Structure 1
Amino acid sequence: MSGDGGTVLETGRLRLRRFTMDDVDHLVELDSDPEVMRFLTGGRPTSAEVVRGEHLPLLLGQYARHPGLGRWAALDRITDGFLGWLALDPSADGTEAELGYRLRRSAWGGGLATEGARALVRHAFDVVGVRRVWAETMAVNDRSRAVMARAGLRYLRTFHLTFDDPIPGTEHGEVEYELRRDEWPSVRQEWDAALRAR
């Protein structure tokens, strides 16, 4: 952890910092890309009013309620440019965290989501001490599912929800992946061995 108060952690290529109300434009721009929002809203953007009045106040409130968990801006460590966000969204009691990520399309395909997700999984278990990290996405979202698997989570189930305005692919259901605290040591050992072998 950095001493600047806002930085949560750094990886080889990423710096994760707390959001502030100054990030409205960053989030609106991120959510304005139809491809970024394809599996979330069917491509519909999020308005500045919703980001400013709902999303950011909720995120900022989590930092105090659940230290070490929350949603953070993902920045390029070299340029400090905004790339998107990564998250460990806390459960109501803070004992579980939902892994999440949303990056600009220009940041896709280079392993940044996996790099950030692995760092957050390690942080969740080794620093915060959660009992479970989980994630879910649409069953047809192959890219997101691949990140979950590379971040050490394993497929748990497919389930179906009812939506008033379903988006294409909803009929195939949602999937949930998870990693539990008792499974984490073997995953960490595997990752550490891979690092030593480089």
Structure 2
Amino acid sequence: MISRRRTRLETHRCNLTRLQQSDYQAVKTLYGNEQVRTYLGGAIPEEHALNKFLDILQRSETDSYYWTVRLKISNEFIGLVSLEQHVDGQDTEISYELLPHSWGHGYAKEAVAQVLTYAFNELNLNRVIAETQTANHSSCKLLERVGMKLDRKIMRYDAEQALYGIDRI
């Protein structure tokens, strides 16, 4: 990915701000939430949360992009959105995790759509993919609502995964 970095993105109702060390406590709430982590291998034990956070913080300084998602009206933290290299080593993947009380309000769609716009218009990426378990119907629907198309299904992490993609127009 190109190293051009914006520290802040904005949607109609959310602010996306580049991940910082001061975000640890908020991000830890995502890691420990069973509902959030249902399709992501389960909640991360508290003793491992700091190491995971420091890892993504370091990656966000070099070759990955992580943004916290906060509501404009209250500045309440509701989740994370990221762009980073997919496990295949070739593609750039968009990922997201939002706290359950924010589900069903369209915040994830706004945030994901804004990050895709950034990926295509400012990073000049030609393609972005997303991977989610096929059992995560809400995530599959979200990816389709932002214009991503199902490319294929594979077995990974002991579960059937759906790989979605979208190309720059």
Residue 54 (structure 2) aligns with:
57
Mapping of residues 2-21 of structure 1, within 5 Å? 7-21=7-21
TM-superposed deviation, 1:87: 1.2
> Runs in 1 of length 4+ with deviation above 4 angstroms?
none
Q: Which has the higher contact order (CA 8 A, sep 6+)?
A: 2
Unaligned runs of 5+ in 2: none
Alignment check: 8 A CA contact 1:20 1:56 kept: no
**SS of the residue aligned with 1:149?**
helix
More helix by share: 1
Under a length normalisation based on structure 1, what TM-score does the superposition of the two structures give? Answer: 0.75
* Aligned counterparts of 2:21 and 2:47: Cα–Cα separation in 1: 12
Alignment check: 8 A CA contact 2:14 2:70 kept: yes
Match of 2:166 among 179, 184, 192: 179
Unaligned runs of 5+ in 1: 164-169, 186-198
Under a length normalisation based on structure 2, what TM-score does the superposition of the two structures give? Answer: 0.86
More strand by share: 2
**Aligned-pair identity (%):** 24
Deviations 1:8-39 (A, max 9, x none): 20111111112222222212222322211111
**SS of the residue aligned with 2:40?**
helix
Alignment check: 8 A CA contact 2:31 2:49 kept: no
CA RMSD across the alignment: 2.2
Match of 2:111 among 104, 113, 116: 116
* Aligned counterparts of 2:119 and 2:83: Cα–Cα separation in 1: 8
> Greater Rg, structure 1 or structure 2?
1
Match of 2:43 among 42, 45, 50: 45
| Alignment length (residue pairs) | 164
